[in-house]
Amino acid sequence: MEKQVELVVYGAEVLCPSCVNLPSSKEQYDWLQAAISRKFGGNGVTYKYVDIFNPPEEEPYKDFATRVVDEDMFYPVVLVEGEVVGEGNPRLKTVYKALEKHGLQPE
């Protein structure tokens, strides 16, 4: 079985104050999943959405959600294998590059 690359999106129902004209975090999460599936296929990536105001108890998700709030980061914040690759308005090119760095190949 191939290695799964973890992509985590931290966001909230409420738009971030600096992201008024952008889609919601959840909409961007869904959009990222669709775009990544088109480029890399349906396998190889595990996706997780974390609500920063109601994070799961498990680590490292709870700690990073607290960090997003405490540091006033623009959300959604996108992590690939624990590395921040997008904040506020994630760029597909940057996300793709991070996935390729972790071994995913476009189909």
Of 88, 25, 80, 16, nearest to 51 by C-alpha is 25
| pLDDT for residue 80 | 97
Biggest CA pair distance of the chain? 42
| pLDDT for residue 2 | 62
pLDDT tens for the chain, residues 1 to 107: 467 999 999 999 887 676 677 888 999 999 999 999 999 988 899 999 999 999 999 999 999 999 999 998 989 999 999 999 999 889 999 999 999 999 999 98
Domains for the chain: give ranges and CATH numbers. 5-101 (3.40.30.30)
| Tokens (6 digits) for 62 | 């709870």
| pLDDT for residue 1 | 42
